Amino acid sequence: DVERFVALFEDAALRMDAASQLLWEQFLSFYQKEGETRFDLDQEDPCQFMNRIFRQPALKGYVVNLDEREFKVVESALKWICEDDPYSPNNFALQLVTSSGEHVTHSVRLLPGREVLYQSDETIFPGPPRWLSETEIQPRYLIPKDVIDSLEGVEFLRKIGASLPQSLRKRVTDLDLYPRLKMKIEQGLTAAETEHLVIDVRALEKQERREEKRIKDEWELVEQKPVKGKQLLRFAREALYPVPSLLAEMGLTYDEKLDAFKSRITKLFPEKFSEWAKNLPESVVTQMDGKLLTLLADPVTAAIRFEVVNQDIDWFDLRIVIDVEGVTLSNAQIRSLVAARGGYVRMDDGGWMRLEIKLDADQRDAVTRLGLDPFDLTGETHRMHALQLADPKAAEVFDPKAWKRIKDRARDIQLEVKAPVPKGLNATLRPYQVDGFRFLAYLATNRFGGLLADDMGLGKTIQSITYLLWLREEEAKERGGMDNVAPSLVVCPKSVIDVWQSETEKFAPELRVKVLRTRDDLHIPTIESEVDMFVLNYAQLRLCGEELAKIKWLTAILDEGQQIKNPDSKAAKAARDLNCQNRLVLTGTPIENRLMDMWSLMAFAMPGVLGSRAYFKKRFDKRKDPGAQSRLASRLRPFLLRRTKLQVAKDLPPRTEEEVFAEMEGVQDELYKAELKRIQKALLGFESDEAVKKNSFAILQGLMRLRQICCHPGLIDPKFLKDESAKMNALFYLLDQLREEGHKVLVFSQFVSMLDIIKARLEVESRPFHYLTGQTKDRKGVIESFQTTKDASVFMLSLKAGGAGLNLTSASYVILYDPWWNPAVENQAIDRTHRIGQKNKVIAYRLLTRETVEEKIRILQHQKTQLVTNVLGDEGFATSLAMDDLAFILGTAPLVDEDDMHAEMKPAKKSKKKSILDDATQADAAAKKATKKAAKKAKDLGEK
């Protein structure tokens, strides 16, 4: 039976709860060792096994006797008492009693272990230490009086916790032993050996009546003074119990040659020993040589002050000077103490010393706000901008003359710029966005560069567009007209180029926007005379850096500026080489993550403000320096603005939705065009809505394939799984940003196979994620895990399985990977997190592939929003499509605006390739026919 159970267990076919599995594994370990299923309790090992079982709280009630009666583990302990035996005057009796003093009358079973247990029938008792070799213990033992009436006998009773018999109590005196550690630093036996801490460990009695020495793991008697008459001394040893663990904490081991314990002196020894020695129990007496005593001495104190050693127009070179108090030290010793940053330094006499910078609360606050380190006393200068020094608290650490010079220069800086929102802006800014715009205006007014590092989704783009409008107007006032204003440059990832163009055209139509599409667009005279905003991506910045550097820009904006976090990259170098009056970096990545990256961003935005690269790396990129992060934040405070969603929650709408476009290339683009051509050809063969209806399945299948290719070419054929997907790259770009900001995110797709592709990449990149589809059995467990995890996790859900009935309020970002026909279904998906209990504002991103059926479906959703309701259901929208709708989606005709059927038709988008229609006449005829059919369809749906 056991072998059968073993096989079932190894095959995971034996189902059991956690406690049962624990019991089974305990039994199996015994069985595999002994090869027996019977427990002979006269043997040591079975008794030890039972001890382990009974000490497991989880196994309470799982062990029964043959009558199915449960063994009960009680808290009341058994104990031994030593008493006179009335029937045997020459003997003492050792009697086992209960906690209430009742005599035990029958034998018990001893179960040895770390904590000894005793079994009496179905009751398991804790009890006294073991002193017999056998496991069957009798309740009463007779011991000759002359054996007990001795120092050894009294010690034996103490060890087993037995009380003294009445006749001995008057003759026994209780004394305490205490540990003494005699410590010194000793050179090794040879010159090549390192120093060691050597400790002689003794146990002493206050009146020196007993002395023991610790040798290895035992205490050995060195001396005990004789006593008068029949007096017996009993020594309490409780104070000695911590000694083994104390020696282990310092890594001390016994050395027979030294006849003492030793530990090697390392770089970490001073701090470790100091902490250890200060926390020794009060009962431990220590004796130390002079070298060790220096580790317990108070630190040497010093005061600091700042000197201004050089001054430029806006910049001051500072040096920190130190004055040591109460002790004479050489310059070399002071430098060593400072370099140790409060740590111990070995001095010439073999002792140790440490330095403490003496700063009161105001001075410490002043140094911190300046972003300086009081231990940075190398004599090197720190270049600081007047604005960084303008904090009034900085006066605490400057001499009056230097502070006056700083204050006079800082007075010229406009710390608050109440710039009006430009009239040419076709948008209403939220209060926090107005503040962000004015921060950018403050930077420009003072000729500063800076960073706008708001959380993703807070509108860094619209704040920047507002800033560009305002800056252009201000510059026109100074230069006598708009014609004299230089253009501005926007560098951004390729995926958001169209966002910059469309949002600028929408919110600031007076700004002339030009996107660098081809090399011909980089015509310098045209840019300087006809363009207000020139937009390009980082690859183009890298490739066209020399030409771009020839243009004088009003301002240069780097969107997603972390793209230049590597200062040695070509893009970063090209950005630094730009000739621009103002410089701005937009990034959603907080400065806390990688400090060295910030140097590269500021080297573009505000060159010199963080010093040279070597200076920065030395002072701010120290992973072991916990203060580096806060010092950097202080240095950046005048030039950086960051708001999180929580900080501006009152200004945010309940829900924000944004569209993110991806543009296909390569294999994905070729597959899409081939499939589109095939479906377009089929559609041209249909003459009526009735024909469309009859062939709806084939049409919808074709549309499905197009949408799958937009998601990933691998969805239509696994052989394309390794090919690029523009939308998947856009998804992981978003996920990277959200992960940097510590946000949870929901990712919805109607294609489970697409979720599997995303899941595979998340696994390769070791990112935390959760996964839920219609096949998920433990939905509740998956949801609870996501809700409670603290990681910036990704939760992938199929649209149908996760679109309704779930509460996922721990996420505040939603990504809809592919558009669904019915927008109501998408809204349900977003509502998984935008619901009661959501403390944060929700931002939803719709991923769309540019110039594909996805973009057309989205436009169609907007146009037919009054006709599409939940009544249609998931597939209702798709199956209600008429021929004109399909013609629009597939690009064989433009869309008719149903709000105004007599409005002018929107012009069809020109294609570089030949149209699938034979000529323009056919296109015009199809458009007119689509208009007529659309009017009838609108009327019919309106009546329904």
Own/partner long-range contacts of 422-428 (Cβ < 8 Å, ≥24 apart) = 422/466, 422/469, 422/470, 422/473, 424/469, 424/473, 424/508, 424/509, 424/510, 425/465, 425/466, 425/469, 425/507, 425/508, 426/506, 426/507, 426/508, 426/509, 427/462, 427/466, 427/507
| Secondary structure of 101-129 in HEC code, one letter for each residue | CCECCCCEEEECCCCCEEEECCEEEECCC
Q: Which of 270-284, 331-345, 353-367, 371-385 comes out lowest in average pLDDT?
A: 371-385
Q: Tell me: do 396 and 515 sit in the same domain.
A: no
User: Over 70: is that where the pLDDT of 899 sits?
Assistant: no
The answer to whether position 579 is within a domain reads yes
The answer to whether position 244 is within a domain reads yes
Higher confidence at residue 628 or residue 122? 122
Question: What is the maximum span of the chain, computed from C-alpha positions, in angstroms?
Answer: 134
Q: Which CATH number is 725's domain given?
A: 3.40.50.300
The answer to whether position 667 is within a domain reads no
The answer to whether position 417 is within a domain reads no
DSSP H/E element including 478:
helix 460-479
In Å, what is the CA distance from 201 to each residue of 195, 213, 250, 280, 282? 19, 6, 14, 14, 16
Confidence of residue 473 (pLDDT cuts 50, 70, 90): very high
Q: Which of 442-456, 522-536, 635-649, 724-738 comes out lowest in average pLDDT?
A: 635-649
Confidence of residue 80 (pLDDT cuts 50, 70, 90): very high
390-399 pLDDT tens trace: 666 666 667 6
Q: Which of 308-317, 703-712, 808-817 comes out lowest in average pLDDT?
A: 308-317
At 940 the pLDDT is: 43
At 542 the pLDDT is: 95
pTM equals 0.47
837-854 pLDDT tens trace: 456 778 889 999 998 988
Q: Which of 35-39, 248-252, 895-899 comes out lowest in average pLDDT?
A: 895-899
Q: Tell me: do 162 and 176 sit in the same domain.
A: no
Q: pLDDT averaged over the chain? A: 80
Q: Tell me: do 590 and 726 sit in the same domain.
A: no
Residue 228 Ramachandran class (φ > 0 left, ψ -120 to 50 alpha, else beta): beta
Q: Helix (H, G, I), strand (E, B), or coil: what is residue 528?
A: helix
Q: Which CATH number is 577's domain given?
A: 3.40.50.10810
| Secondary structure of 662-708 in HEC code, one letter for each residue | ECCCHHHHHHHHHHHHHHHHHHCCCCCHHHHHHCHHHHHHHHHHHHH
User: Over 50: is that where the pLDDT of 319 sits?
Assistant: yes
Instruction: Decide if 749 contacts 866 (C-beta within 8 A).
Output: no
Q: Tell me: do 185 and 48 sit in the same domain.
A: no
Q: Which two tokens stand for residue 932?
A: 């007529």
User: What is the rounded radius of gyration, in angstroms, for the C-alpha atoms of the chain?
Assistant: 41
Helices (H) and strands (E) in the chain, counts: 34, 35
The answer to whether position 34 is within a domain reads no
The answer to whether position 692 is within a domain reads no
User: Over 90: is that where the pLDDT of 140 sits?
Assistant: yes
Q: Tell me: do 532 and 604 sit in the same domain.
A: yes
At 874 the pLDDT is: 38
At 912 the pLDDT is: 33
Instruction: Decide if 724 contacts 665 (C-beta within 8 A).
Output: yes
31-79 pLDDT tens trace: 777 676 677 778 888 888 888 888 887 777 778 877 888 888 898 999 9
User: Over 50: is that where the pLDDT of 935 sits?
Assistant: no
Higher confidence at residue 401 or residue 466? 466
At 230 the pLDDT is: 73
655-684 pLDDT tens trace: 788 889 999 999 999 999 999 888 888 777
Q: Tell me: do 489 and 552 sit in the same domain.
A: yes
Q: Which residue, 168, 194, 223, sits at the end of a domain?
A: 168
Q: Tell me: do 580 and 439 sit in the same domain.
A: yes
Q: Tell me: do 826 and 815 sit in the same domain.
A: yes
Mean pLDDT calculated for residue range 607-614: 80
Confidence of residue 9 (pLDDT cuts 50, 70, 90): low
695-715 pLDDT tens trace: 777 778 888 899 999 999 999
Instruction: Decide if 795 contacts 827 (C-beta within 8 A).
Output: no
Q: Tell me: do 198 and 82 sit in the same domain.
A: no
What does the alpha-carbon distance between residue 50 and residue 54 come to, in Å, rounded to a whole number? Answer: 6
Which amino acid does the sequence have at 138?
Q
Question: For 914, phi and psi rounded to 5 degrees?
Answer: -65, 140
The strands making up 79-84's β-sheet, listed across from edge to edge, are 79-84, 91-97, 140-144
Domain count of the fold of the chain: 5
Q: Tell me: do 256 and 368 sit in the same domain.
A: no
Q: Tell me: do 751 and 890 sit in the same domain.
A: yes
Q: Which of 142-151, 696-705, 714-723, 823-832 comes out lowest in average pLDDT?
A: 823-832
Percent of the chain with pLDDT over 70: 78
35: how many CB neighbours lie within 10 A of its CB?
7
Q: Tell me: do 254 and 402 sit in the same domain.
A: no
For residue 733, give its domain range: 703-943
Contacts of residue 936, defined as CB under 8 A and 6 or more positions apart, other chains included, come to none
At 139 the pLDDT is: 93
The answer to whether position 683 is within a domain reads no
The answer to whether position 24 is within a domain reads no
Mean pLDDT calculated for residue range 485-499: 89
Q: Which of 372-376, 596-600, 892-896 comes out lowest in average pLDDT?
A: 892-896
Confidence of residue 178 (pLDDT cuts 50, 70, 90): very high
User: Over 80: is that where the pLDDT of 162 sits?
Assistant: yes
Mean pLDDT calculated for residue range 389-410: 69
547: how many CB neighbours lie within 10 A of its CB?
13
